[in-house]
Amino acid sequence: MRHGPTQAGLQALGMLLGLGLGWTGFPLPLMAHTLKAAHGYEEGLRETRHRMLEVLARELAAREPSLRLKIYGRGRLFTPAEMWIGLMSGTLEVASLPLTTLRGVDPVFARPARPGLATTLEDAYGLAQGPLMRTVRETLARHGVRVLADLWLPGALIARDGSCAHRPADLAGKRFDPGGRPLGGVARAHGAVLQEADKAPVSGPSREPAAVEAVAELDILGGLPLPASACVTLPGPAAPWFEYHPVLMSEKTWAGLSERQQAAVMEAARSAETYARVALSRALAASEARLATAAREGARVEFFTPEEARAWIPPAPPVAPSPAEPAPGASAPVASAPVEPSPVEPAPVVPAPVAATLPPASGGEPRPTPEPSASGAAPAGAAGPSEPLSAPAPAPVASPVVSSAPDSSPGPGGDATPNASDFVPVAPQARSPSEPPAEVSPAVSEPKAETPGAVAPDTQPSAVPPPPRSESAPR
């Protein structure tokens, strides 16, 4: 309580000094906002990922004094497993981590490391505007994370048993740790036994390392400890795969920046990306330095040949053959369901001439066909009108045939047209007046269209034609 007036006096003096400095044209410096950046690697000069964040912090401070970037390396502030959660929640502003470690969040994050997608550093950076990287950026944005700068790292293999691995066939029967990269499927197809080391618990006894491990070459150049009997296979003129290792920022942090601050962040990120690309190109071009670095760790070093790098490309899935394209202007064929064959129907019966259907007269000669009269009326004994009729519907196969009708079934040759020799005259049978007429089978009980010139069996004319009518007889 005794210090109350003293503290109040000091605060009043500070306000007066501040007003005085503001009036004299020397305002107090603004309090800079500090952004946290984390990564899980060493902090030496040989570690390009750490140096990339240092360039980002230096360029950001030069462009926007109100922003500061503080770097926490080797997982001191966030472990690699916590960085992604911190970015989504906004508790971590900036992070540098390989995207393959996020394959459990979305499988698309492992696709940039597919073998054969890029074989040189120039090819890898040329994927930035491709459809795959646009999909990756959109997926990150849906999870609340933004890409600030790209970093592509070539891959390498470490064989701890001393036998160098160059092709997938060299891993047959060995435990292989792909680190979540798509080349694990290629190695498994050639007989390798996959062992994911990153699935082991963080705390507790660690498992025995795999015989062969896939890493980024930058891990080896950065001082990754290697056993004395190890054999390291580094990329030569072509690399089997490249890893996407971007610098990410939380969308919540980005939304809290002003437009001027956002522009300064993007300019600083472009400078950091350019630095990392040039530094990595120089490191890959210095083969002797790469050999000396690995030899200093006590390992034997070999390089991939272009043929060995292409051996890691997975085979393309089989593509179903597409139907032939129609000619321009022609309509595409429409696929139809298979049609089952229908039973063979008998051919329609062609009506025979009237002379062939009439029984012969008493003299044994067939009677000629009556000619129509001049008035157009049908003569006596004609079967029906003279106008043309439609073709009769074919009778069912199982229908019985009246004995007096000609057989119209197709012969051995398949011809259903009756011949004149097929018609045999049938003499009328005597029937008592009390005897009912013969019943017709139900199969033919339905009325059918009459054929011109055909005569029903029960209505056949007698053998003797009626006498001609006298003109003098009354009508």
Residue 262: per-residue pLDDT: 98
Is 429 inside a domain boundary? no
Is 179 inside a domain boundary? yes
- Which of 82 and 353 is assigned the larger pLDDT? 82
Residue 447: per-residue pLDDT: 46
Residue 291: per-residue pLDDT: 81
pLDDT above 90 for 69? yes
Q: How many domains is the chain partitioned into structurally?
A: 1
Are 268 and 63 within 8 A, CB to CB? yes
- Which of 421 and 182 is assigned the larger pLDDT? 182
Mean pLDDT of 2-17: 52
Mean pLDDT of 154-170: 94
What is the rounded distance in angstroms from the CA atom of residue 218 to the CA atom of residue 46? 9
Is 113 inside a domain boundary? yes
Give the CATH number, domain containing residue 232.
Answer: 3.40.190.170
Parent domain of 220: 31-199+208-310
Is 389 inside a domain boundary? no
- From residue 49, how far is each of 222, 237, 446 by CA, in Å? 10, 23, 97
Report which listed range, 20-34, 255-269, 367-381, is most confident.
Answer: 255-269
pTM over 0.75: no
Is 46 inside a domain boundary? yes
**pLDDT tens-digit map of 310-336:** 999 998 776 555 555 455 554 544 444
Is 6 inside a domain boundary? no
Is 339 inside a domain boundary? no
- Which of 382 and 180 is assigned the larger pLDDT? 180
SS3 292: helix
Mean pLDDT of 41-59: 94
Is 286 inside a domain boundary? yes
SS3 75: coil
**pLDDT tens-digit map of 94-139:** 999 999 999 999 999 999 999 999 999 999 999 999 999 999 999 9
SS3 167: coil
Q: Given the structure tokens 């259907």, which residue do they identify? A: 357
Provide the mean pLDDT of the chain: 74
pLDDT above 50 for 247? yes
pLDDT above 90 for 354? no
What is the rounded distance in angstroms from the CA atom of residue 236 to the CA atom of residue 412? 82
How confident is residue 279, by pLDDT bands cut at 50, 70 and 90? Answer: very high
